[in-house]
Amino acid sequence: MSKDAPPSAIPVKAVVLAGGSGTRLWPLSRLQLPKQFLKLEGERTLLEETIQRLHPLIGADDTLVVTGAEHATGEAYTALQPYATLLEPVGRNTAPAIALAAAWLQQQERAAGRETDPVMVVLPADHVIRQPEAFRAALSQAVTAAEAGHLVTFGITPDRPDTGFGYIKAAGDEAPLTVERFTEKPDAATAEQFLAAGGYYWNAGIFVWRTSVILDEVRHHLPDVAAVLDRIIAEWGDAAPDQAVVERHFPDMPDISIDYGVLEKSRNVALVPCDIGWSDVGSWDAVHEIAHHDANGNALQGETIAIDCHNSLIHGNQRLVAAVGVRDLCVVETADAVLIAPRGQTQRVREVVETLKGRNGTEHILHRTVQRPWGSYTVLEEHDGYKMKRITVHPGASLSLQRHQHRSEHWIVVAGTATVVRGDEELTVSKNESTYIPIGFKHRLENRGRIPLQLIEVQVGEYLEEDDIERFEDNYGR
C-alpha cells in the first residue's frame, strides 16, 4: 500500500486488466490502441484515471498492469512506461490473466523474502467512475471482506433494465452481501423483472480477494489453468517472476472468464453494493451519457459546430465537424474514418469492424498516425509502388537497426538533426538535407538532439507493408 494508506498487516496490491481490443469505440479505438489508452476527456487516459482513483488506498508502486505484449512494444508503449507490467503473449480471457497475476504477486513476495499473502484488487483499465470517494469507500469495505477470506465482487446499483450488463443476485441486510447467482446479459423482459424484484446488481468486473484464496479456487474449479500455472511457478523457482517463462507457457492456457470459470461455481462469493457513477464506456451511446452536454443535450468534443442539433454526440478528431439539424445521432471523425450512427444502435459498430476484417482493411487495426516507442509516423499518401510518411523521433530515441528486402527509402529532414547509420557509414543529416537507404542496406535513425526530429520518408518498392522489417538491434524488445 502507499505511504498514505491506513496501516494493515496484509499488503494490498492492484491488478489492472488492460488487454482488451476496444472495438466498440471504433473509429477512435483501434486494435493497436484500444480505448484504455485513449483520452476520452481531459488530459489523462482511462488507464491513468483508473490507477489515479486508487490513491491513497493503493499507490502506483503497488499496481501491476496486465496487458498484451503487442501493446507494450507498440502504440501503447508510452502510456505503459510508468507502470510495472505483466505481458500476455496471447489473449486468454480473464481467468488465466488473473490467476497468473496472483501467482506473479506471490512470487514477488517470496523472492523478496516475505511470507505474505497480498490482497489483490482486480479492476478493468477502461471504466469511468464519477464518484471516486464513494468508490474508495466501497473498496475499503471489500478489502476488509477479502482479508477475512471472501471472494468479493462490486455490484453496481442498477438504474435501468440494461441488457448490456451481467447481473448478480445477492441477499442480506448488511454489506458484504451473499451472492446467490450470476446471470449473463439477460433479455429486456428479464432485465425489467430483475429491476422490479430488487436485489440484483450489475457486474462491474471489479474483484477483491487474497492471492491464496483465488489460486485455491482456480485449482479447484479450473484444473487446466492450474496445470499451466504450476509449470510457470516451477520454472520460476525461488527467483523473481520472469516474463520469458510466461511467454513459453501462457499460450497453453484455455480461454475462459473468471466469472464463468470460478465465481459462478464458488460458494464463497460476497458482494459490496455501490453507487459510484460507474460506466464501462462500452459504446458511443455510453460516451454520450457520461459526457458534458450543452443546452440541447449534445456532447460536443474536438473542433465542432452544431446548429439546431439535439441529443447528439459529435466528435471531431482531426478536422472541423459541422452538423446542422441532426437529432439523436453519433458522429465520430478521425483522419481515416468517419462513423455515423443513430443513438441506440452504436453497439453495431462491431459489425463495421467485422466487415473491415473480412475485406482485409487496416482502419480497425491502426490510425493514420501510428504511435511507436521512439515517436510516431503518419502516412501522408500511398499508391502502388510508393508511400509517403511524416516521421517524428523523440529526443534521445532511435529506431531499430533494420533492413528491408522490398523497398528503398529517401529521408528528408525538416526539423532537428538526424544521426543515420547506413551500411558501414554513420551520417549526420541536418534540416533541409536528405539521404537515401538502398534496398537491403542495414540502417538506423537516431535523434541525439534536444528537440524532436521530423523528416519526410518516401518509400519506393513493390511491397511496402510494415512486416518488411528485419530487426538486428532494438531498444524496445521488439
Distance CA(237)–CA(111), nearest Å, equals 9
Residues 381 and 399: their CA atoms lie apart, in Å, by 22
Mean per-residue pLDDT over the chain, rounded: 95
pLDDT tens-digit map of 371-411: 999 999 999 999 999 999 999 999 999 999 999 999 999 99
Angle subtended at Cα 40 by Cα 44 and Cα 206, rounded to the nearest 5 degrees: 75
Cis upstream peptide for 56 (omega within 30°): yes
Residue pair 330/339 in contact by the 8 Å Cβ criterion:
yes
Average pLDDT over residues 336-355: 96
Confidence band for 6, pLDDT divided at 50, 70 and 90 = very low
For residue 197, the cross-strand partners are none
Cα separation, 358 vs 352, in Å, equals 10
Provide the pairing of β-strand 119-124 with 151-156.
unpaired
Q: Report, as an integer, the average pLDDT of 23-31.
A: 93
- Where along the chain do its domains lie? 12-279, 298-350, 373-473
What pLDDT sits at residue 448?
A: 98
Average pLDDT estimate for 176-189: 94
Residues 234-252 have a mean pLDDT of 97
Q: What is the DSSP letter of 36?
A: G
Please state which CATH number belongs to domain 373-473. Answer: 2.60.120.10
pLDDT at 104 over 60: yes
**The pTM is what?**
0.90
If one counts every other C-beta atom within 10 angstroms of the C-beta of residue 167, the result is 24
Which SS3 state, helix, strand or coil, does residue 458 take?
strand
> Helix axis angle, 223-236 relative to 211-221, nearest 10°?
130
pLDDT tens digits along 214-225: 999 999 999 999
What confidence category does residue 2 fall into, taking pLDDT thresholds of 50, 70 and 90?
very low
Q: Identify the helix (H) or strand (E) that includes residue 338.
A: strand 338-342
Do residues 229 and 193 lie in contact, with contact meaning Cβ atoms separated by under 8 Å? no
Task: List the beta bridge partners of residue 327.
Answer: 310
Residue 78, all three cell numbers: 508510452
Fold of 12-279: Spore Coat Polysaccharide Biosynthesis Protein SpsA; Chain A (3.90.550)
Between 351 and 21, whose confidence is greater? 351
Asked whether residue 3 carries a pLDDT value surpassing 50, the answer given is: no
Confidence bin at 156 (pLDDT 50/70/90): very high
Q: For residue 278, what are the β-bridge partners?
A: 129
CA distance 430 to 435: 10
The C-alpha atoms of residue 188 and residue 368 are separated, in whole angstroms, by 39
pLDDT of 141 strictly over 80: yes
So what's the pLDDT on residue 5? 43
Average pLDDT over residues 139-147: 97
- Give the 3-state secondary structure of residue 269: strand
**137 sits in which H/E element:** helix 132-147
In 3D space, the residue among 71, 150, 50 whose CA is nearest the CA of residue 365 turns out to be 71
